[in-house]
Amino acid sequence: MKKDVVIVGGGCIGLMSAYCLQKSGRSVTVIEKGDITNGTSFGNAGLLSAFKKAPLSAPGAITDTIKLMLKGESPASVHPTLNLHLYKWLLKFAASSTEARLRRTLALFERYGQVSLDMYQSMVEDDGIDFHFRKDGLLMIYTEQATFDAKAAHCNDPKAYEILSKEKTKEYMPILNDKVIGSILLKENGHIDPGEMMLAVKKYLEEKGVEFLLNEEVERLEFEGSKVSKIRTSKDVYEAETFILSTGADDKLARQAKNKFMMTPAKGYSLTFKMDDALKPKTTSLFADLFIAMTPRRDTVRMTSKLELGTTNPSIVKKQIDSMNKNLAQYTNDFERRDVVEWSGFRPLTPNDIPILGFDENYENLVHATGLGWLGITFAPSIGKIINDVITVDKKNETNADILLFSSFFQG
Ligand SMILES: Cc1cc2nc3c(=O)[nH]c(=O)nc-3n(C[C@H](O)[C@H](O)[C@H](O)COP(=O)(O)OP(=O)(O)OC[C@H]3O[C@@H](n4cnc5c(N)ncnc54)[C@H](O)[C@@H]3O)c2cc1C
């Protein structure tokens, strides 16, 4: 039987699209090649960091990275590759790092970040979906006086910022040593436990009748005229009114529909461990000069870092884990970590922090929802809402204001 909406990919973007479409009364099937517990949406830091936080493609990003590379502390690296697409991506990244774009991107981040925060809150409070969700700010910790002073000079709004001394910063993160300069609390941000959120939302959706086909990979799209007629998976063949591709950094299926999106996989790592409660960070914290995040969760703490381009190797490389630990150790006292779980995953990164959203330009019943880069968890609910709106209300990209503003189909 022909299905209504088939979503390929059960990461946070696929699940939030399912959540919004189900609420609109659509019948939804999610097809996921894994079991949703090991992908990028599961192992990330869980920061909800849309407010007052510069995009990756901010002016100065490249010089700052080069400075860190020279100090041996850079979280970013580019593997030598013959893949021309990556070099085009890097050129576009450099061209996007302008003041004009920065102002625009910050405004878009706040617009969609607020929608997402409100939706996460409503999921917890109104739908009774149980996951760790806190709106208690993001602590930006500085280890360089110059970057701290430069940022603090612009933090005049007491609703948005609190500037903290070294001693006050240590109250938030007791493991810090005296090399830390100070911190700035970006008060409007928050965090979740992304894995808990994914499992709880999946359970809620199943109870509402959403169908999950797990451990089933979509291998081929088939076309008839201007439509996707069916998809072939490792187990079966399905027809549907509408197909959504939310396959994260894996663009294999999008390419079958003749797309070559300006997106690249950006590998990152997380370490999740238990530590003494008294030493745990009080809120989610980001070492601004090192790109290392530490997020407190119910029973554990998660540390994340690294941004590797030019690799699709999924294995956990010990050198990268050692480098994360070495960089953190410079600014912390020794502390015991128990039951450490190492993880790596790929961000679907566009060069200008603008995602790929909306109807395909060649096939009228195919919708794309990817390219959320380092902020997929931050924006997932608002992306689900946009995808639902364009499918059920606007029915085309050109009449959906959010797609016009926040999709690389229009803002490339
Ligand atoms: C180290 C690290 C830290 C991060 N920290 C944060 C953070 O603090 N805050 C934040 O907002 N974001 C963060 N991110 C980014 C965030 O995790 C991603 O933007 C987000 O998870 C992307 O979600 P997605 O649904 O697009 O992709 P994914 O989570 O990758 O989901 C795509 C799914 O599609 C499935 N799939 C792919 N191809 C097929 C196929 N052919 N058939 C069936 N299934 C398929 C995959 O198995 C996968 O489950 C971080 C990322 C990393 C790597």
Q: Dump pLDDT digits (tens) for 323-371.
A: 999 999 999 999 999 999 999 999 999 999 999 999 999 999 999 999 9
> In the predicted model, is pLDDT for residue 218 greater than 90?
yes
CA of 353 to the centre of ligand 1 (A): 15
Q: Is the CB of 286 under 6 A from ligand 1?
A: no
Atom of ligand 1 nearest to the CA of 31: 43
Q: Is the CB of 376 under 6 A from ligand 1?
A: yes
Residue bearing the bigger pLDDT, 366 or 83: 366
Interval 249-267 mean pLDDT: 97
pLDDT of residue 69: 65
Atom of ligand 1 nearest to the CA of 248: 27
Nearest CA to ligand 1 atom 25: 11
Q: Is the CB of 342 under 6 A from ligand 1?
A: no
Q: Is the CB of 378 under 6 A from ligand 1?
A: yes
**In this predicted model, what pLDDT tens digit does every residue of 360-408 receive, in sequence order?**
999 999 999 999 999 999 999 999 999 999 999 999 999 999 999 999 9
* Residue 308 belongs to some domain of the structure: yes
pLDDT of residue 74: 76
H/E element holding 308?
Answer: strand 301-309
pLDDT of residue 80: 82
Nearest CA to ligand 1 atom 53: 268
CA 60 to chain CA centroid, nearest Å: 22
% of the chain with per-residue pLDDT over 90: 88
Q: Cα separation of 119 and 116, whole Å? A: 5
pLDDT of residue 66: 65
pLDDT of residue 306: 93
**In this predicted model, what pLDDT tens digit does every residue of 36-76 receive, in sequence order?**
998 999 999 999 999 998 888 777 776 677 667 666 677 88
What pTM was estimated for this model as a whole?
Answer: 0.96
pLDDT of residue 375: 97
Query: What average pLDDT does the chain have?
Result: 95
Contacts of residue 316, Cβ cutoff 8 Å, sequence gap at least 6: 269, 342, 343, 344
Q: Is the CB of 169 under 6 A from ligand 1?
A: no
* Residue 244 belongs to some domain of the structure: no
**In this predicted model, what pLDDT tens digit does every residue of 272-300 receive, in sequence order?**
999 999 999 999 999 998 889 999 999 99
* Residue 110 belongs to some domain of the structure: no
CA of 228 to the centre of ligand 1 (A): 24
Q: Is the CB of 34 under 6 A from ligand 1?
A: yes
Nearest CA to ligand 1 atom 31: 11
pLDDT of residue 257: 97
* Residue 311 belongs to some domain of the structure: yes
CA of 266 to the centre of ligand 1 (A): 11
Q: Is the CB of 304 under 6 A from ligand 1?
A: yes
CATH of the domain at 330: 3.30.9.10
Structural domain for 76, as ranges: 54-88+134-190+263-348
Q: Is the CB of 116 under 6 A from ligand 1?
A: no
pLDDT of residue 70: 61
For the purposes of burial, counting CB atoms within 10 Å of the CB of 333, is it exposed (0-12), middle (13-18) or buried (19 or more)? exposed
> In the predicted model, is pLDDT for residue 92 greater than 80?
yes
> In the predicted model, is pLDDT for residue 35 greater than 90?
yes
CA of 166 to the centre of ligand 1 (A): 35
* Residue 305 belongs to some domain of the structure: yes
Q: Is the CB of 370 under 6 A from ligand 1?
A: yes
pLDDT of residue 408: 96
pLDDT of residue 409: 95
% of the chain with per-residue pLDDT over 70: 97
* Residue 93 belongs to some domain of the structure: no
> In the predicted model, is pLDDT for residue 6 greater than 90?
yes
Q: Is the CB of 369 under 6 A from ligand 1?
A: no
Residue bearing the bigger pLDDT, 222 or 74: 222
Atom of ligand 1 nearest to the CA of 14: 25
* Residue 238 belongs to some domain of the structure: no
For ligand 1, mutation pick of 7, 33, 44 (most atoms within 8 Å of CB): 44
pLDDT of residue 77: 84
Q: Distance of CA 406 to CAs 41, 108, 266, Å? A: 21, 7, 21
> In the predicted model, is pLDDT for residue 240 greater than 90?
yes
Q: Is the CB of 228 under 6 A from ligand 1?
A: no
Q: Is the CB of 59 under 6 A from ligand 1?
A: no
> In the predicted model, is pLDDT for residue 97 greater than 90?
no
CA of 179 to the centre of ligand 1 (A): 34
For the purposes of burial, counting CB atoms within 10 Å of the CB of 82, is it exposed (0-12), middle (13-18) or buried (19 or more)? exposed
Interval 76-87 mean pLDDT: 86
pLDDT of residue 60: 73
Total of domains in the chain: 1
Q: Cα separation of 355 and 406, whole Å? A: 7
Q: Is the CB of 176 under 6 A from ligand 1?
A: no
For the chain, the distance separating the N- and C-terminal CA atoms, rounded to the nearest angstrom, is 38
* Residue 377 belongs to some domain of the structure: no
For the purposes of burial, counting CB atoms within 10 Å of the CB of 343, is it exposed (0-12), middle (13-18) or buried (19 or more)? middle
Q: Which of 57-71, 74-88, 171-185 has the highest mean pLDDT?
A: 171-185
Q: What is the DSSP letter of 278?
A: G
